[in-house]
Every structure is written in C-alpha cells, then in structure tokens.
Structure 1
Amino acid sequence: MPFEELKPSLDAAYQKIAKQINVPGFRRGKVPPAVIERQFPGAARDEALNDILGAKYVEALEENNLTPLAQPEVEVLKYDDEGPLEFTAEVDVKPEITLPSYDGLSASVEDLAVTDEDVAEQVDALRERFGTLIDVERPAQEGDFVVIDLVATQDGEVVDGAEIAGFSYKVGNGGMIDGLDEALVGVNVDEEKTFTTQPGQRRAWSARTSR
C-alpha cells in the first residue's frame, strides 16, 4: 500500500489525537502533527495502522472472493515514515470443493433382517420412555424407580458434599455407587439401609427411600 493511500488515514489519526489531548500553547484540536509526534511518538501511526489494516484486509478478501473461517494472523513487514505499508494476513478460508461425477456409480445395500427380539426390544424401550410411574405397595425390586436420600459417612463423620436428597434412581441401573442396587432391592418406603463401599476407605452410605 503506497504512502499516498496511507496519508488520509494518518491525517485523520492526527486530528483525532489532537482533539483528545491538551498541549500548552495550542488550542484543543489544533495541535500540529510534529508536536503530537514529540509528545506521543508513534501514536498516530498506530491509530492509522489499525484503521488501514482492517479496510485493506476486507478489500483483499473481496478482490480474491475468499470466505474466512477465523480471525487472521497479521504480520506487518514494512511501515516506514513516508514509505509504503507491507503486511501479510494469514487465515483459514472456505475451501472450494469440486464434486466428482456420480454417473455410472452403483451401490448395493443388504436387506436388513429384523427379528421378533429386535421388535420387542424397541417396544420395551418405547414403553419405558413414554411410560408413567405409579406408586406400588410392595418392596422395591430391580427395574423399579425409587426416590431416595443418600448420605455418606467415613469414620462416623458425614462426608462433606456427599449428601443427596430426593434423587430418582432406577434400581439395577448400576454405575453410580457399588452396593447401592443390592441395598435397594427389597427395601420399603421410609426404610433406611446402610452399606459399605470402596474397600479400604471405610466409607458407609445410608439410603432412605421416600417413595
């Protein structure tokens, strides 16, 4: 970018700075560029550079019909007094993809065999997904949903942050706390069960069902 194109941005930067500073002997907005350079070396050039880079970057994208996918990495190569500006902007751009011809292509798909077991499995999954929970008058068994309160103790003291209230849990689901499913099978409403887990740490959990 030649200096002739840079000069309007530099002049605008000097005018902007002149309106923002107070220099004894000069009215605000009337401070000469030479005085601004003595007081704030390079400030106008930096201000102009920010304005120029953005405009020229967009111009380059439009001229080359590029669609950027991120912010560019800009490197200024040359920016001397009254000299040209040279910079590079590196950015990932939207690629041009040429689709191959699909004439003559063929594909074969094997028939999908659906068994009665497959159908039953999907039906059971839909029943569980859209089913409605109802209270039952019997001890909990595997597959039931229970609402429980959990409290963990270690050496007789409640473990900080290891208390859960009103937690809905499917008995037999597994993957939460070792021993929980076994403790819940056969438990009644408002009954409390204590079980120990994580051997070596002497940590006990108490589970109470509320429904």
Structure 2
Amino acid sequence: MQVSVENTSALERRMTIAVPAERVETEVNKRLQQTARRAKVPGFRPGKVPMSVIRQRYEDAARQEAFGDLVQASFYEAVVEQKLNPAGAPAVEPKSFEKGKDLEYVAIFEVFPEFTVAGFDSIAVERLSAEVADADLDNMLEVLRKQNVRFEAADRAAQNEDQLNIDFVGKVDGEVFAGGSAKGTQLVLGSGRMIPGFEEGLVGAKAGEERVLNLTFPEDYQNLDLAGKTAEFTVTVNSVSEPKLPELTEEFFAQFGIKEATLEGFRTEVRKNMERELRQAIKTKIKNQVMDGLLAANPIEVPKALLENEVNRLRVQAVQQFGGNIKPEQLPAELFEEQAKRRVVLGLIVAEVVKQNELKPDEDRVREMIQEMASAYQEPEQVVAWYYKNDQQLNEVRSVVLEEQVVDTVLQKATVTDKSVSYEEAVKPAQAPAAD
C-alpha cells in the first residue's frame, strides 16, 4: 500500500492512499463467494449458482461494498503507519476504482494539535479562605424563612413585599397591545417582575382601587416592538396580602428532612450545607483562575471537527434545558462557538497535562468526593454504594478528581496569594471567564 501525506495547513492533512489491485480483487471475490452461498436465482438451487452468473448479477454491488470497507481499513492502517492522530472522520475523494487497477483515493482530515503545556509559573491565583460565622448562619435562616413565606389578607394600603392580586390592561397609542393585559395576576411588590415604575406605582394602593400608570418600556426591552415606547396601564387591585414568615418550629424543620427537629439540630445541618457550599465555591474559583491561566499561556489551534462536535453538544443541551418545539440544528452555531472553543481547548490542554505528568485518578480522593456529595442526603451510605455500582457515574467522578489533580499540579508552580474574605464574598459567583 502506497501512502503520501501533504500538510495543507497547521492541522489539515491531505493523504493519498493506493491499495493494490490484488487486495481489491481479493475483497471483491470474498463478497461474491459469500453472496453465492445465499443467492436465490431462478433456475438454480441455492448454493449451486455458477460464479459467472453471480459475478454478472452482483459484482457491481460487491465492488462498491469492498470500496467502503477497504477505504475504512486502509485509512486506519495509513494513519497508524504515518503516526497521525485524526480529529474526526476524513472527507474521502475517490481517484481511481477500476477493475484490475489499484484503488486510489484522497483522504482529507484534521489532526490533533501537537504541543507541550507550559507557562505554569506565569499563572497567578488568588486563593480565598473563609468561615461560616454565626451571623452568616442567621442570615441563611432568614433566607430559608423568606423562601417559605405565606401571604395573608391585609386591610391596609399596599407596601413593598406585599403580594397583590391585580387585573391590568396596557395600551400603546391608545391601542391594547399583545401580552399587555392579564386578570388575577399575583404580583409581589419589589420583585422586579414588571417594567420600571409598574410596581412602584402600586405602593399605597388598597383593595378595590384602580390606578392608571403612564410608563416607558426600557430601550433594551426584549420585545423590540415595545422597546422605548410609552404605555398606559390601567390596574385594578383585587386584594392586598402581607408576608408572614414561618416560625422556626418542628413543623418548619420537618420540611427540610431534618432528623433532629430542634433549632440546634436545624442550625447544625444548615451550617454543614453552608460549609459544603463554601468549600465548593472556593475550589471552583481556584480552578477557573488556573484554567484561564492555562488558556492564556498555551494558545493552540482548534480542529474544526472537534469544535463542530462541541457546538452540536451545546445545542442539544440548550434544547434539553429550555425545551420548546425546536431542533438543536435550528439554533445558530455562532451562539455556542466561543463557549465550545474554550471547552475544546481546555480539554486538549488538560489531557496534555495529564499525559505529561502521568496523572491517574487518586482513588482515595474519588471516595472522599463521593462521600462529600452523599453527605447531603438522608441515607449517605446508600448513595456511596450506588456510585460504586454504576461505572458511568463513578468514571465521571474520577474525571472530576483527575481535573482537580491537574489544578494541584499547576498550583505547585503558579504564584498563589492567600486572602481571607467573608463567607458572602467567598460564595459570590465569580464573573464568567472570557472565551478565547
């Protein structure tokens, strides 16, 4: 088999392959013999059809089938021989496939970039540390109470945080517009659900009162037909209800599945959850800084095939997350290209760090991570056992642990600055990393 390779770009290869005619004919004859054993031809018993008849009837189909199999097999042999690492399936251009002659074709494909990860010492990381103070715990208990708020009818004027039941009709230039009217809508004042001025305009209103609000839609309003326009809303307040926070009672604790349904037991469980969230938040921020540093220090070209596959994966995820009657391929690729490129490049870099440093998942850390996740459930032992019975889930945890080991490897040479901060600052989401 003859193979020649041309580098048409940094990653694209144009490989010409010639398969000897003898091999081609051997493959064609093999298929014809298989066909002869099962072919049904009028006037002949199965298995007794002369090869000349079989060849006359089935040789073209056998030759096409042999072509596909030979291309697949010879391409694999050629990339192994040439020590190439294709990133995706090749585009095949047949050049010659005549009876009695060599099979010749051109395969065009991209290869994975070859590079060495460097620049660990150029990466700067700010490592946060924080504790869950009693005040943080108290604030969290108030958040949980507010999440379980109930509303009771109030015979007074409405104020912020009250829930109003309203009917409203919106008009632009005297005409009712689509989506601008509703009946029996529940609205919490101060929630920011409505356009600026709407909720503020209902503060002080009482049940049975009608108010007319003259408002302007924001310039960046999602409905471009309404953006920047002035509208008149006629609002009828049907009822006013005030918020009532639940007391910290056994009944309240039971909603969270707390075994020890006491205030002390509840505080202990909430603190555990906050500490778990704190550890994860700090770990995530460190990881993001390391990954940003690796990206900046190691610019590499991305194979188009890998980028396209990642875009398609993100499209599917978007449809699954947001639903709707839409097919993934209907979503514009450009919506996902930056995110896809970042993920592909990081995947290549992380894989190379693993290879260069001969890293393998630390099974002790794998168990620790599973136990950490399981601790959030009522029966943690069952959760741990479930992970170790499901290879796919277990391997996903191993991948996360391996990524953490990559981060640790980088931190050994990076410039790390420790900083003590409050719990709130530590768990506050970091800004989304910029895509390259």
TM-score of the aligned structures, taking structure 2 as reference length: 0.33
| Counterpart in the other structure of 1:63 | 81
| Gapped regions of structure 2 (runs ≥ 5) | 1-18, 127-138, 216-225, 242-436
Q: Give ranges in structure 1 of 5+ residues lacking alignment.
A: 111-124
Superposition map of 1:1-211 within 5 A: 1-40=19-58, 42-99=60-117, 132-135=147-150, 141-142=159-160, 144=161, 171-173=190-192, 180-182=198-200, 185=203, 198=226
Q: SS state of the match for residue 42, structure 1? A: helix
8 Å CA contact 2:168, 2:236 repeated in 1:
yes
Q: CA deviation at 1:10?
A: 0.9
Q: CA deviation at 1:206?
A: 8.2
1:76, 1:88 within 8 Å by CA — same for their partners in 2? yes
Give, in whole Å, the separation in 2 of the partners of 1:36 and 1:203.
82
State the percentage of identical aligned residues.
28
- The one-character-per-residue Cα deviations of 1:114-173 (angstroms, maximum 9, x if unpaired) are xxxxxxxxxxx989976634235567655x49697989899999x69x989998878343
The change in CA–CA distance for 1:8 and 1:186 in structure 2 (over 3 A counts) is farther
Distance 1:98 1:196, change over 3 A: same
State the secondary structure of the residue aligned to 2:54: helix
Task: Give the Å deviation of 1:87.
Answer: 1.2
* Residue pair 1:192, 1:208 contacting (<8 A) in 2 also: no
Partner in structure 2 of residue 120 of structure 1: none
Give the distance between the partners of 1:152 and 1:44, measured in 2 at CA: 72
Contact 1:15 1:29 in 2 (8 A): no
* C-alpha displacement of 1:65: 2.6
RMSD: 5.0
Query: What is the aligned residue count?
Result: 195
- State the 1:78 CA deviation: 0.9
Larger-gyration structure (1/2): 1
- Pair 188,136 (structure 1): closer, same or farther in 2 beyond 3 Å: farther
Could you list the per-position Cα deviations for residues 40-62 of structure 1 after superposition, in whole angstroms to 9, with x for gaps in the alignment? 45111011111111111111222
Give the corresponding residue for 2:255. none
TM value normalised by structure 1: 0.58
SS at 1:90's partner residue? Answer: strand
Deviation at 1:190, TM superposition (A): 11
Q: Deviations over 1:54-89 (max 9, x none)?
A: 111111222223222212111111111011111121
When residues 134 and 66 of structure 1 are mapped into structure 2, their CA distance, relative to the original with a 3 A threshold, is same
Identify if the C-alpha distance between structure 1 residues 76 and 156 changes in structure 2 by more than 3 Å, giving closer, same or farther.
same
After superposing the two structures, state which structure 1 stretch, 12-21 or 145-154, moved more: 145-154
